[in-house]
Amino acid sequence: MFAYAVRRLIISIPVLLTSTFLVFLMVSLSGDPLADLRARQPPPPESVLRAQAHELRLDQPMLERYWHWISGIPRGDFGPSVQNINIGHELWIRFGVTMRLVLLAVLLAAIIAGVVGVVSAAKQYSPTDYALTGLGFLFLAMPVFWFAILLKQLAVNINLQTGHTIFYTIGDRSIETTGGLAAQIGDIAGHLILPTIVLAITSFASWSRFNRASMLEVLSSDYVLLARAKGLPRRQVLVRHALRTALAPMVTVMSMDFAAFFSGAIVTETVFQWHGMGDLLLTSIQLRDVYPVLAWLLIAGSAVILMNLIADLLYALLDPRIRYA
Amino acid sequence: MVVSALALSLAMAACSGAPAGTGGADTGAAKQIQGDANTVNNGPVKSGGNLTYVLEKNVASWNPLTPIGSTVESMEAVAGVMPSVYVPQPDMQTVKLNTNLVLSAKQTSTSPQTIVYKINPKAVWSDKTPISADDFSYLWKTQNAKDCPKCQVASTTGYDQIASVSGSDGGKTATVVFKKPFAAWQTLFSFLLPSHIAATYGDIKTAAGLATSFNHGFADKPPTWSGGPFTIKQFQPSQAVIEAKNASWYGSGPNLDQVTFRIITDTTQEVPALQNHEVQAIAPAPQVDLLNQLKQLQGVNYQVGTTYFWEHFEFNLNNPFLGQNPAGDALRQSMFTAVDTQGIIDRTVGQISPGIKPLNNHFFMPQQQGYQDNVGSLGFGKADVAKAKQILQTAGYTGIGTKLVAPDGKPVPALRFVYTAGNQLRQTEGTLFASYVKPLGITVNVEPTDNLGASQVHQDSHYDYDIIVFAWVGSAFPAAINAPVYLSCPKGVTYCSNNIANYRNANVDKLLKDSVTNLDPTAVAADLNKADKQISSDAVSLPLYQRPGLLAYDSKYGGIRNNANYIGPTYNIADWGLLESGS
């Protein structure tokens, strides 16, 4: 298993490098990052524009620029930025912000999807199943940004009606918090609830459908019928025998959806003004700031690879046949 | 079920129309505050309290005199920290002497032009070091392109015309002598930087020391010092700038204990944040939906004012069919004549601020002395299709109304009208333009660009546009900022400075050059209007309208008002405060 994991990791490296090179070419060729400066009124002196171009390595050939970038990474140098930021430092902070949101959303979506999937499967074609199926499709069909805005308005209304700020609509925390630990936790939770729900809701919808189908398949299998025939309690059959088996393909789907979570976080971060990885990517693309985009890709790609690896390991944990294969 | 409850609540939120707590259209709606631009919302305020104001971009550089730092956001963030000698007022024509900083600024001679600044003896930096002529000298040396060639300055305008800056009276008098007259001298010495702090970054008697302090020392980290009413207490990158009272402040105020600049990069999220009391003041670019949303809020006041941004259609004279020759002139003039400027306004910004009229001038705003209609008086922008056809016919065009053919027999190709991607107003303007010129037999393809700057400064023959819509920025000193837009480029280049259309007229050059150096404001206005008449009749760019500005704030606050200048509403940040009356 260990050898398998290492092999998977080694294969991932050239894939990651190729993708960074392609993205580097695409962003670099998309336009001059200094164009907005040239169009300023009045424009900066030509000597200033030349100095800026030199600082951003725009006066170097394309391949040389890429080599500078890739060779700087081991030293923690992610290259210069139009935004005058230290990309490495910025990534560290923003990755933490995004992961806080993504991990919690994955957890929430997985728990609700697990429960809904089991209930739907156990009560197939019942009114509960129809209701949950309808809800699933409803959330699946809803655009994330639209749902986020709607949820935000609902939260503001609740705040106004109660006269207390329970929910916050911008940022991952208040700029200045007063009070003890409870107040700090309340503040973080108040900022976390809405974006987590938004990010979790669409994945919950698809995962619950997947879990329902998976559960139905397992529930009709011979070993579950045998367990029932032996007189095991219904709850035990569902949770210990059926759910565990049904979860294995779910884990694969969840790990594959991790990249989607990252992209979903871009919209969620924008609506709730979480200045995480998504915000960095959007701003950098708008400014044609190639190096932060590359750094984003490197981190996001690595995270996806890592999650796939974790999924493989979890898969083995859930299904002993893989462990011993 | 939690999920079901959520779905039900969302459905209710979606169906409820106006947000709860707004109290209906009449009783709870936000109030539009109107009045004199310089004094509106000036109710008595008390001392104390905090306010959070929204910035729409991160502060990328703390030196507002560098290209990266010369953004509205950076300037607003440091307006209360870095003092300026003159402060442009909201009426768009007054520049007020900052008497906290200088007691007087007088032009004592016109030949050579000499300005004497008497610095307030009480004026000190936050570490108690007196603000002195050395600080004036530092600003000049870093921005004159001579003493510090490697200083990355946003502009050298004016500073490159100064011969010397000298100090006397123990540094409390600064005397500035110009080698060439500079009419807009009141624009100089904005955002004063402390020279004694600069000296800690390097030897400021050398070019290298000046460059290090200017490009990095003052730019990379938020200032720990202040010469204004506030000092920066904390900067959370991409999140907020927190400013508290400067304990060494030598002027009156400030009223508020703390001002927080909160960074919200998505305009549409500003109104919910205001409604949820997470911020107290926003100044987004006005849009119809945003304004309608804002109007429903309770306890909010808003001001719809004017800005220096003026939208216009610019024609690319590098296109042979649109070039400066008899046929090209006629083609452009005919299109100018067929366009309905008021019609464009009514279908775009007129819905935000009714009463907006065509601008009809390339230099002056209607609020400024010297303004006159130099465009409409030529019959441009009046939707006169018959006259437009007549112009084409006289010039020898054929196929008028069907497929236009130039006098030399070449069919006029489809023209590319370029607008900023995602800008609905500009897209509508493009579509309307295409419909106005269609009866002339001209086809216009309306295309978006996601890089407006690159499209403007096309640098080779493969230019990106035939007609482009965007905004230039005006000023209380229109000659200094707008003259470069119309000054001829050297031969052989397709654009230079801000003359992206590659317009050339020797008479206009002469008038504009005089307007920059002439110290008589009446003569400057006359020069600019003569130049404007020529530019207008040459039909190189069609001014559309002056863009409206919007400021919305919690009704408990006074002193805050819309301002079109580069530091926006923060121009009087020391006057902001909680109203004594409560709202």
Mutate to test the interface with B, among A177, A204, A273, A286 (most CBs of B within 10 A): A273
Query: B313 forms bridges with which residues in the sheet?
Result: B469, B542
The CATH architecture annotation of domain B2-81+228-299+555-579 reads 3-Layer(aba) Sandwich (3.40)
Q: DSSP string of B221-246? A: S--S--SSSEEEEEEETTTEEEEEE-
User: What is the ipTM, given to two decimal places?
Assistant: 0.86
Q: Do residues B523 and B331 touch, judged by C-beta distance below 8 A?
A: no
- Using CA atoms, how far apart are residues A295 and A73, in angstroms rounded to an integer? 9
Q: Is B273's CB within 8 Å of A170's CB? A: yes
Q: Is B264's CB within 8 Å of A170's CB? A: yes
Q: Do residues B554 and B280 touch, judged by C-beta distance below 8 A?
A: yes
Residues of chain B with CATH 3.40.190.10: 2-81+228-299+555-579
Mutate to test the interface with A, among B278, B311, B500 (most CBs of A within 10 A): B278
3-state SS, residue B457: coil
Q: Is B152's CB within 8 Å of A52's CB? A: yes
Question: Measured between CB atoms, which of A82, A135, A156 is closest to B19?
Answer: A156
Q: Do residues B453 and A36 touch, judged by C-beta distance below 8 A?
A: yes
Could you tell me the maximum CA-CA distance found in chain B, to the nearest angstrom?
83
- Using CA atoms, how far apart are residues B578 and B46, in angstroms rounded to an integer? 6
Min Cα distance B220 → chain A (Å) is 8
Within 154-213 of B, beta carbons closer than 8 Å to A belong to 154-157
Per-residue tokens: B112: 């050579």
Question: Measured between CB atoms, which of A45, A167, A171 is closest to B153?
Answer: A45
Look up residue A233 and give its amino acid. P
Look up residue A192 and give its amino acid. L
- Using CA atoms, how far apart are residues B220 and A85, in angstroms rounded to an integer? 9
Continuous segment of H or E residues that includes residue B176:
strand B173-178
Could you list the beta-strand ranges (E) of B507-540: none
- Using CA atoms, how far apart are residues A211 and A193, in angstroms rounded to an integer? 24
- Using CA atoms, how far apart are residues B527 and B332, in angstroms rounded to an integer? 24
Q: Is B7's CB within 8 Å of A138's CB? A: yes
Residues of chain B with CATH 3.10.105.10: 308-546
Q: What are phi and psi of A285, to 5 degrees?
A: -65, -45
Question: Measured between CB atoms, which of B154, B242, B268 is closest to A44?
Answer: B154
Q: DSSP string of B164-202? A: EEEEEGGGTEEEEEESS--TTGGGSS-S---HHHHTTTS
Could you list the beta-strand ranges (E) of B316-407: none
Question: Rg (Cα) of chain B, in Å, rounded?
Answer: 26
Residues of chain B with CATH 3.90.76.10: 101-215
Q: Check if B260 contacts A (Cβ < 8 Å).
A: yes
Min Cα distance B169 → chain A (Å) is 35
pLDDT in tens, chain B (583 residues): 444 555 555 555 544 444 433 333 344 689 999 999 999 999 999 999 999 999 999 999 999 999 889 999 999 999 999 999 999 999 998 999 999 999 999 999 999 999 999 999 999 999 999 999 999 999 999 999 999 999 999 999 999 999 999 999 999 999 999 999 999 999 999 999 999 999 999 999 999 999 999 999 999 999 999 999 999 999 998 899 999 999 999 999 899 999 999 999 999 999 999 999 999 999 998 888 899 999 999 999 999 989 999 999 999 998 999 999 999 999 999 999 999 999 999 999 999 888 899 999 999 999 999 999 999 999 999 999 999 999 999 999 999 999 999 999 999 999 999 998 888 899 999 999 999 999 999 999 999 987 777 777 765 556 788 999 999 988 888 888 888 889 998 887 777 778 888 899 999 999 999 998 999 999 999 999 999 999 999 999 999 999 999 999 999 999 999 998 888 999 999 999 999 987 6
- Stated pTM of the model: 0.89
Cis amide bond preceding A42, omega within 30: yes
Q: Is B275's CB within 8 Å of A38's CB? A: no
Per-residue tokens: B167: 């100090």
Q: What number of other Cβ atoms are within 10 A of residue A143's Cβ?
A: 10
Q: Do residues B536 and B313 touch, judged by C-beta distance below 8 A?
A: no
Min Cα distance A51 → chain B (Å) is 8
> Is residue B481 packed enough to be buried (19+ CB in 10 Å), middle (13-18) or exposed (0-12)?
buried
CATH code, residues B101-215: 3.90.76.10
Which chain A residues have a beta carbon less than 8 Å from that of B8? none
Question: Measured between CB atoms, which of A37, A153, A275 is closest to B19?
Answer: A153
Cα dihedral sign for A153, A154, A160, A165?
negative
- Percent above pLDDT 70 for chain A: 96
Closest Cα in chain B to A39: B453
Q: Give the CATH fold of the B308-546 domain.
A: Dipeptide-binding Protein; domain 3 (3.10.105)
Could you list the beta-strand ranges (E) of B316-451: 415-420, 444-449
